[in-house]
Amino acid sequence: MIHIASDRGASALPIVALLALAMTGFLALLTETIPAGMLSQISQGMNVSEALAGQFVTLYAIGSLVAAIPLIVLTRGWKRRPLLLAALSGLLVFNTVTAVTSDYAIALIARCLAGMAGGLIWGMLVGYVRRMVPPELKGRALALASIGAPLALSLGVPAGSFLGSLLGWRSTFGLISVLTLGVMILVLRRVPDQSGQEPDKRLPIRAVLATPGVRPVLGVLILWILAHSILYTYIVPFLAPAGLSDRADLVLLVFGLSSLAGIWITGLLIDRNLRLLVLTSLGFFALASLALGIGGKEIATIYLAVIVWGVTFGGSAAQLQTATADAAGSGADVAQSILVTVWNIAIAAGAIIGGVLLETVGVASFAWVLFALLDAAVLITWASREHGFPGITRKVPT
Protein backbone atom coordinates (compact mmCIF):
# COMPACT_ATOMS: atom_id res chain seq x y z
CA MET A 1 0.00 0.00 0.00
CA ILE A 2 2.85 2.38 0.84
CA HIS A 3 4.68 2.88 -2.41
CA ILE A 4 8.46 2.44 -2.48
CA ALA A 5 9.84 3.70 -5.75
CA SER A 6 13.32 2.27 -5.80
CA ASP A 7 14.62 -1.26 -5.32
CA ARG A 8 16.87 0.01 -2.58
CA GLY A 9 13.91 1.59 -0.77
CA ALA A 10 11.86 -1.55 -1.16
CA SER A 11 14.61 -3.73 0.33
CA ALA A 12 14.99 -1.30 3.23
CA LEU A 13 11.32 -1.47 4.14
CA PRO A 14 10.42 -4.88 5.71
CA ILE A 15 6.85 -5.06 4.47
CA VAL A 16 5.80 -8.36 6.06
CA ALA A 17 7.28 -7.45 9.44
CA LEU A 18 5.56 -4.06 9.39
CA LEU A 19 2.23 -5.63 8.43
CA ALA A 20 2.65 -8.08 11.33
CA LEU A 21 3.06 -5.10 13.66
CA ALA A 22 0.04 -3.45 12.02
CA MET A 23 -1.98 -6.59 12.74
CA THR A 24 -0.78 -6.44 16.34
CA GLY A 25 -2.12 -2.90 16.70
CA PHE A 26 -5.32 -3.94 14.95
CA LEU A 27 -5.92 -6.75 17.44
CA ALA A 28 -5.24 -4.50 20.42
CA LEU A 29 -7.73 -1.88 19.26
CA LEU A 30 -10.25 -4.45 17.99
CA THR A 31 -10.22 -6.09 21.43
CA GLU A 32 -11.13 -2.70 22.89
CA THR A 33 -13.88 -1.70 20.48
CA ILE A 34 -15.62 -4.93 19.49
CA PRO A 35 -17.77 -5.34 22.66
CA ALA A 36 -19.62 -2.13 21.71
CA GLY A 37 -21.22 -4.07 18.83
CA MET A 38 -22.27 -6.98 21.06
CA LEU A 39 -23.74 -5.25 24.11
CA SER A 40 -27.12 -6.96 23.92
CA GLN A 41 -25.55 -10.43 23.56
CA ILE A 42 -23.08 -9.79 26.41
CA SER A 43 -25.92 -8.42 28.53
CA GLN A 44 -28.00 -11.58 28.05
CA GLY A 45 -25.04 -13.93 28.41
CA MET A 46 -23.80 -12.31 31.62
CA ASN A 47 -27.26 -11.55 33.06
CA VAL A 48 -26.46 -7.84 33.43
CA SER A 49 -27.83 -4.65 31.92
CA GLU A 50 -26.48 -3.26 28.67
CA ALA A 51 -24.99 -0.38 30.65
CA LEU A 52 -22.99 -2.86 32.73
CA ALA A 53 -22.07 -4.78 29.58
CA GLY A 54 -20.67 -1.49 28.27
CA GLN A 55 -18.12 -1.58 31.08
CA PHE A 56 -16.29 -4.20 29.01
CA VAL A 57 -15.10 -1.21 26.96
CA THR A 58 -14.52 1.03 29.97
CA LEU A 59 -12.36 -1.44 31.90
CA TYR A 60 -10.18 -2.12 28.85
CA ALA A 61 -9.64 1.63 28.41
CA ILE A 62 -8.80 2.04 32.11
CA GLY A 63 -6.26 -0.78 31.94
CA SER A 64 -4.60 0.78 28.92
CA LEU A 65 -4.66 4.22 30.47
CA VAL A 66 -3.05 3.31 33.80
CA ALA A 67 -0.54 0.76 32.50
CA ALA A 68 1.04 2.28 29.39
CA ILE A 69 3.59 4.57 31.08
CA PRO A 70 4.68 2.35 34.00
CA LEU A 71 4.94 -0.80 31.86
CA ILE A 72 7.01 0.96 29.20
CA VAL A 73 9.29 2.47 31.86
CA LEU A 74 9.75 -0.91 33.56
CA THR A 75 10.47 -2.79 30.32
CA ARG A 76 12.75 -0.33 28.50
CA GLY A 77 15.70 -2.70 28.80
CA TRP A 78 13.85 -5.76 27.54
CA LYS A 79 14.39 -7.19 24.08
CA ARG A 80 11.56 -6.03 21.87
CA ARG A 81 10.26 -9.24 20.30
CA PRO A 82 9.89 -11.22 23.57
CA LEU A 83 8.17 -8.18 25.07
CA LEU A 84 5.76 -7.92 22.13
CA LEU A 85 5.03 -11.64 22.32
CA ALA A 86 4.37 -11.32 26.05
CA ALA A 87 1.87 -8.51 25.39
CA LEU A 88 0.17 -10.54 22.67
CA SER A 89 0.05 -13.49 25.06
CA GLY A 90 -1.79 -11.21 27.46
CA LEU A 91 -4.41 -10.45 24.80
CA LEU A 92 -4.68 -14.17 23.99
CA VAL A 93 -5.12 -15.28 27.61
CA PHE A 94 -7.46 -12.53 28.77
CA ASN A 95 -9.67 -12.66 25.67
CA THR A 96 -9.95 -16.41 26.21
CA VAL A 97 -10.88 -15.87 29.87
CA THR A 98 -13.52 -13.36 28.77
CA ALA A 99 -14.89 -15.90 26.29
CA VAL A 100 -15.29 -18.74 28.79
CA THR A 101 -16.11 -17.15 32.15
CA SER A 102 -19.66 -16.76 33.43
CA ASP A 103 -18.56 -14.48 36.27
CA TYR A 104 -19.06 -10.80 35.47
CA ALA A 105 -16.39 -9.64 37.93
CA ILE A 106 -13.79 -12.01 36.47
CA ALA A 107 -14.70 -10.83 32.98
CA LEU A 108 -14.13 -7.20 34.00
CA ILE A 109 -10.75 -8.07 35.55
CA ALA A 110 -9.80 -9.89 32.35
CA ARG A 111 -10.83 -6.86 30.30
CA CYS A 112 -8.73 -4.55 32.46
CA LEU A 113 -5.69 -6.83 32.16
CA ALA A 114 -6.24 -7.10 28.40
CA GLY A 115 -6.24 -3.29 28.32
CA MET A 116 -2.88 -3.28 30.10
CA ALA A 117 -1.50 -5.59 27.44
CA GLY A 118 -2.96 -3.31 24.75
CA GLY A 119 -1.41 -0.23 26.39
CA LEU A 120 1.97 -1.94 26.38
CA ILE A 121 1.58 -2.83 22.69
CA TRP A 122 0.76 0.74 21.68
CA GLY A 123 3.49 2.15 23.90
CA MET A 124 6.24 0.03 22.37
CA LEU A 125 5.05 -0.29 18.77
CA VAL A 126 6.42 3.04 17.50
CA GLY A 127 9.90 2.53 18.91
CA TYR A 128 9.97 -1.01 17.54
CA VAL A 129 9.05 0.16 14.05
CA ARG A 130 11.60 3.00 14.07
CA ARG A 131 14.39 0.62 15.13
CA MET A 132 13.70 -1.64 12.14
CA VAL A 133 14.35 0.85 9.33
CA PRO A 134 16.91 3.49 8.33
CA PRO A 135 16.23 7.12 9.37
CA GLU A 136 14.95 8.20 5.96
CA LEU A 137 12.15 5.60 6.08
CA LYS A 138 11.02 5.89 9.70
CA GLY A 139 7.87 7.88 8.97
CA ARG A 140 6.89 5.74 6.00
CA ALA A 141 7.38 2.54 7.98
CA LEU A 142 5.30 3.93 10.82
CA ALA A 143 2.50 4.86 8.42
CA LEU A 144 2.38 1.27 7.16
CA ALA A 145 2.44 -0.15 10.69
CA SER A 146 -0.42 2.21 11.64
CA ILE A 147 -2.92 0.70 9.19
CA GLY A 148 -4.42 -1.43 11.94
CA ALA A 149 -5.82 1.50 13.93
CA PRO A 150 -8.31 2.96 11.41
CA LEU A 151 -9.32 -0.54 10.34
CA ALA A 152 -10.17 -1.44 13.93
CA LEU A 153 -11.94 1.88 14.52
CA SER A 154 -14.09 1.53 11.42
CA LEU A 155 -14.67 -2.22 11.61
CA GLY A 156 -14.69 -2.91 15.35
CA VAL A 157 -18.32 -2.07 16.17
CA PRO A 158 -19.82 -3.39 12.89
CA ALA A 159 -17.69 -6.55 13.17
CA GLY A 160 -18.88 -7.05 16.74
CA SER A 161 -22.49 -6.67 15.69
CA PHE A 162 -22.11 -9.06 12.73
CA LEU A 163 -19.95 -11.70 14.42
CA GLY A 164 -21.95 -11.49 17.65
CA SER A 165 -25.14 -12.28 15.73
CA LEU A 166 -23.45 -14.97 13.61
CA LEU A 167 -21.25 -16.74 16.15
CA GLY A 168 -22.26 -15.41 19.54
CA TRP A 169 -20.18 -13.04 21.64
CA ARG A 170 -18.16 -15.77 23.37
CA SER A 171 -17.12 -17.35 20.07
CA THR A 172 -16.20 -13.89 18.77
CA PHE A 173 -13.75 -13.40 21.64
CA GLY A 174 -12.47 -16.91 20.98
CA LEU A 175 -11.95 -16.03 17.33
CA ILE A 176 -9.89 -12.99 18.35
CA SER A 177 -7.76 -15.32 20.49
CA VAL A 178 -7.17 -17.59 17.49
CA LEU A 179 -6.21 -14.58 15.35
CA THR A 180 -3.86 -13.42 18.11
CA LEU A 181 -2.14 -16.79 18.12
CA GLY A 182 -1.68 -16.53 14.36
CA VAL A 183 -0.15 -13.07 14.68
CA MET A 184 2.19 -14.33 17.41
CA ILE A 185 3.47 -17.01 15.06
CA LEU A 186 3.95 -14.42 12.32
CA VAL A 187 5.82 -12.10 14.70
CA LEU A 188 8.05 -14.97 15.82
CA ARG A 189 8.86 -15.95 12.23
CA ARG A 190 9.08 -12.64 10.39
CA VAL A 191 9.64 -9.74 12.80
CA PRO A 192 13.32 -9.22 13.68
CA ASP A 193 14.22 -8.83 17.34
CA GLN A 194 15.58 -5.51 18.60
CA SER A 195 17.55 -4.77 21.72
CA GLY A 196 16.15 -2.76 24.60
CA GLN A 197 17.49 0.59 25.69
CA GLU A 198 20.85 0.85 27.43
CA PRO A 199 20.64 2.05 31.07
CA ASP A 200 22.62 5.24 30.40
CA LYS A 201 20.13 6.29 27.71
CA ARG A 202 16.97 5.86 29.82
CA LEU A 203 15.60 9.32 30.54
CA PRO A 204 13.16 9.80 33.44
CA ILE A 205 9.59 10.77 32.59
CA ARG A 206 10.05 14.34 33.79
CA ALA A 207 13.09 14.81 31.54
CA VAL A 208 11.21 13.41 28.54
CA LEU A 209 8.32 15.83 29.13
CA ALA A 210 10.79 18.69 29.46
CA THR A 211 12.43 17.87 26.11
CA PRO A 212 11.80 20.76 23.69
CA GLY A 213 9.02 19.91 21.28
CA VAL A 214 7.35 17.10 23.22
CA ARG A 215 4.75 19.27 24.96
CA PRO A 216 3.65 21.15 21.82
CA VAL A 217 3.08 17.82 20.07
CA LEU A 218 1.03 16.56 23.02
CA GLY A 219 -0.95 19.81 22.96
CA VAL A 220 -1.79 19.33 19.30
CA LEU A 221 -2.68 15.70 20.01
CA ILE A 222 -5.16 16.68 22.74
CA LEU A 223 -6.94 19.20 20.52
CA TRP A 224 -6.95 16.93 17.45
CA ILE A 225 -8.22 13.84 19.28
CA LEU A 226 -10.78 15.85 21.25
CA ALA A 227 -12.25 17.10 17.98
CA HIS A 228 -12.27 13.60 16.50
CA SER A 229 -13.72 11.96 19.60
CA ILE A 230 -16.62 14.40 19.93
CA LEU A 231 -17.75 13.67 16.38
CA TYR A 232 -16.93 9.95 16.32
CA THR A 233 -18.57 9.12 19.66
CA TYR A 234 -21.82 10.90 18.85
CA ILE A 235 -21.97 10.28 15.13
CA VAL A 236 -25.48 8.76 15.34
CA PRO A 237 -27.21 11.79 16.94
CA PHE A 238 -25.09 14.10 14.79
CA LEU A 239 -26.48 12.44 11.65
CA ALA A 240 -30.10 12.58 12.85
CA PRO A 241 -30.96 16.10 11.53
CA ALA A 242 -30.03 14.94 8.03
CA GLY A 243 -32.04 11.74 8.40
CA LEU A 244 -28.92 9.56 8.33
CA SER A 245 -28.88 8.17 11.86
CA ASP A 246 -29.85 4.72 10.56
CA ARG A 247 -26.98 4.87 8.05
CA ALA A 248 -24.27 5.47 10.63
CA ASP A 249 -22.65 2.14 9.71
CA LEU A 250 -22.25 3.29 6.10
CA VAL A 251 -20.94 6.69 7.20
CA LEU A 252 -18.35 4.99 9.45
CA LEU A 253 -17.39 2.66 6.59
CA VAL A 254 -16.79 5.72 4.37
CA PHE A 255 -14.75 7.21 7.20
CA GLY A 256 -12.70 4.00 7.56
CA LEU A 257 -11.96 3.69 3.84
CA SER A 258 -11.03 7.36 3.70
CA SER A 259 -8.72 6.81 6.66
CA LEU A 260 -6.86 4.16 4.68
CA ALA A 261 -6.39 6.72 1.90
CA GLY A 262 -5.07 9.12 4.55
CA ILE A 263 -2.50 6.55 5.69
CA TRP A 264 -1.37 6.06 2.10
CA ILE A 265 -0.94 9.80 1.61
CA THR A 266 0.88 10.05 4.94
CA GLY A 267 3.21 7.24 3.91
CA LEU A 268 4.15 9.12 0.76
CA LEU A 269 4.75 12.50 2.41
CA ILE A 270 5.62 12.04 6.08
CA ASP A 271 9.38 11.75 5.56
CA ARG A 272 9.44 14.63 3.10
CA ASN A 273 7.73 17.37 5.13
CA LEU A 274 6.01 16.34 8.36
CA ARG A 275 5.28 19.93 9.37
CA LEU A 276 3.38 20.70 6.16
CA LEU A 277 1.54 17.38 6.37
CA VAL A 278 0.28 18.08 9.92
CA LEU A 279 -0.74 21.65 9.05
CA THR A 280 -2.57 20.42 5.94
CA SER A 281 -4.34 17.62 7.83
CA LEU A 282 -5.51 19.93 10.59
CA GLY A 283 -6.47 22.66 8.14
CA PHE A 284 -8.64 20.44 5.96
CA PHE A 285 -10.26 18.82 9.00
CA ALA A 286 -11.12 22.35 10.17
CA LEU A 287 -12.59 23.14 6.75
CA ALA A 288 -14.65 19.95 6.89
CA SER A 289 -15.95 21.05 10.30
CA LEU A 290 -16.82 24.45 8.88
CA ALA A 291 -18.71 22.76 6.04
CA LEU A 292 -20.65 20.67 8.56
CA GLY A 293 -21.47 23.81 10.53
CA ILE A 294 -22.84 25.56 7.46
CA GLY A 295 -24.46 22.64 5.60
CA GLY A 296 -24.71 19.88 8.21
CA LYS A 297 -28.22 18.89 7.13
CA GLU A 298 -27.24 18.27 3.50
CA ILE A 299 -26.46 14.62 2.79
CA ALA A 300 -23.87 15.37 0.10
CA THR A 301 -22.09 17.84 2.39
CA ILE A 302 -21.99 15.28 5.21
CA TYR A 303 -20.47 12.55 3.06
CA LEU A 304 -17.91 14.92 1.55
CA ALA A 305 -16.97 16.20 5.03
CA VAL A 306 -16.69 12.62 6.34
CA ILE A 307 -14.35 11.73 3.48
CA VAL A 308 -12.15 14.72 4.29
CA TRP A 309 -12.33 13.89 8.00
CA GLY A 310 -11.24 10.31 7.29
CA VAL A 311 -8.39 11.27 4.96
CA THR A 312 -7.02 13.86 7.38
CA PHE A 313 -7.44 11.69 10.48
CA GLY A 314 -6.14 8.44 8.96
CA GLY A 315 -2.52 9.48 9.17
CA SER A 316 -2.83 11.37 12.45
CA ALA A 317 -1.37 8.60 14.60
CA ALA A 318 1.71 8.19 12.38
CA GLN A 319 2.18 11.96 12.14
CA LEU A 320 1.91 12.59 15.88
CA GLN A 321 3.95 9.52 16.80
CA THR A 322 6.70 10.53 14.40
CA ALA A 323 6.74 14.10 15.71
CA THR A 324 6.86 12.87 19.31
CA ALA A 325 9.64 10.37 18.65
CA ASP A 326 11.68 12.91 16.69
CA ALA A 327 11.35 15.45 19.50
CA ALA A 328 12.04 12.99 22.33
CA GLY A 329 15.13 11.37 20.82
CA SER A 330 16.47 8.71 23.21
CA GLY A 331 13.31 9.12 25.31
CA ALA A 332 11.08 8.07 22.41
CA ASP A 333 9.67 4.93 24.05
CA VAL A 334 8.64 6.79 27.20
CA ALA A 335 7.28 9.64 25.08
CA GLN A 336 5.15 7.15 23.14
CA SER A 337 3.72 5.71 26.35
CA ILE A 338 2.83 9.26 27.41
CA LEU A 339 1.26 9.80 23.99
CA VAL A 340 -0.86 6.64 24.39
CA THR A 341 -2.02 7.82 27.81
CA VAL A 342 -2.83 11.35 26.63
CA TRP A 343 -4.58 9.93 23.54
CA ASN A 344 -6.89 7.81 25.70
CA ILE A 345 -7.57 10.73 28.04
CA ALA A 346 -8.46 12.90 25.04
CA ILE A 347 -10.84 10.23 23.71
CA ALA A 348 -12.56 9.99 27.09
CA ALA A 349 -12.68 13.77 27.45
CA GLY A 350 -14.16 14.07 23.96
CA ALA A 351 -16.93 11.66 24.92
CA ILE A 352 -17.66 13.69 28.08
CA ILE A 353 -17.56 17.07 26.32
CA GLY A 354 -19.66 15.77 23.45
CA GLY A 355 -22.23 14.43 25.90
CA VAL A 356 -22.44 17.78 27.67
CA LEU A 357 -22.83 19.60 24.35
CA LEU A 358 -25.48 17.12 23.22
CA GLU A 359 -27.54 17.61 26.38
CA THR A 360 -27.17 21.40 26.56
CA VAL A 361 -26.83 23.12 23.19
CA GLY A 362 -27.41 20.18 20.83
CA VAL A 363 -25.50 18.57 17.96
CA ALA A 364 -25.53 21.80 15.92
CA SER A 365 -22.73 23.03 18.20
CA PHE A 366 -20.40 20.13 17.38
CA ALA A 367 -19.03 21.52 14.13
CA TRP A 368 -18.20 24.91 15.63
CA VAL A 369 -16.49 23.38 18.67
CA LEU A 370 -14.45 21.17 16.33
CA PHE A 371 -13.54 24.19 14.22
CA ALA A 372 -12.28 26.08 17.29
CA LEU A 373 -10.26 23.11 18.59
CA LEU A 374 -8.64 22.48 15.22
CA ASP A 375 -7.81 26.15 14.69
CA ALA A 376 -6.02 26.13 18.05
CA ALA A 377 -4.10 23.00 16.97
CA VAL A 378 -3.07 24.73 13.74
CA LEU A 379 -1.76 27.71 15.71
CA ILE A 380 0.31 25.51 18.04
CA THR A 381 1.73 23.60 15.09
CA TRP A 382 2.55 26.83 13.26
CA ALA A 383 4.29 28.25 16.35
CA SER A 384 6.36 25.07 16.89
CA ARG A 385 8.67 25.64 13.95
CA GLU A 386 11.86 25.13 15.94
CA HIS A 387 10.79 22.22 18.16
CA GLY A 388 7.87 19.82 17.79
CA PHE A 389 7.02 20.39 14.14
CA PRO A 390 10.22 21.71 12.56
CA GLY A 391 10.39 22.33 8.84
CA ILE A 392 12.90 19.54 8.30
CA THR A 393 12.78 17.44 5.18
CA ARG A 394 14.37 14.01 5.42
CA LYS A 395 16.21 12.60 2.45
CA VAL A 396 14.02 9.79 1.13
CA PRO A 397 14.43 7.29 -1.74
CA THR A 398 13.00 8.48 -5.04
Confidence of residue 5 (pLDDT cuts 50, 70, 90): very low
pLDDT of residue 3 exceeding 50? no
Question: For residue 75, which of 66, 64, 86, 65 has the smallest C-alpha distance?
Answer: 86
Same fold, 7-198 and 205-383: yes
Which pLDDT value is given to residue 224? 97
Q: What percent of the chain has pLDDT over 70?
A: 94
Express each pLDDT in 60-79 by its tens digit.
988 998 888 999 989 988 99
- Residue 7: pLDDT over 90: no
Q: In this predicted model, which residue has the larger pLDDT, 337 or 81? A: 81
Res. 45: pLDDT tops 60: yes
Contact present, 172 and 164 (Cβ < 8 Å): yes
The 10s digit of each residue's pLDDT in 96-106 is 999 999 999 99
**CATH class (in words) of the domain with range 7-198:** mainly alpha
Q: Tell me, what's the pLDDT at 393?
A: 56
pLDDT category of residue 50 using cuts at 50, 70 and 90? confident
Looking at residues 244-273, what average pLDDT do you find? 87
Q: Which CATH class is domain 205-383?
A: mainly alpha
pLDDT interval class at 159 (50, 70, 90): confident
Closest CA to 339 of 250, 190, 220, 244: 220
Handedness of CA 100, 103, 106, 110 (dihedral sign): positive
Largest CA distance in the chain: 59
pLDDT of 92 higher than 60: yes
Decide which of 148 and 7 is more confident. Answer: 148
Q: For residues 247 and 158, is the Cβ–Cβ distance under 8 A?
A: no
At residue 275 the predicted structure's pLDDT band, cuts being 50, 70 and 90, is very high
Q: Model confidence over 342-397: pLDDT tens digits?
A: 988 888 788 889 888 988 999 999 999 999 999 999 999 999 999 899 976 555 54
Mean pLDDT, the chain, whole residue set: 88
| Sequence ranges of the domains in the chain | 7-198, 205-383
| 312 band by pLDDT with thresholds 50, 70 and 90 | very high
Closest CA to 367 of 298, 266, 279: 298
Q: Residue 193 above 60 pLDDT?
A: yes
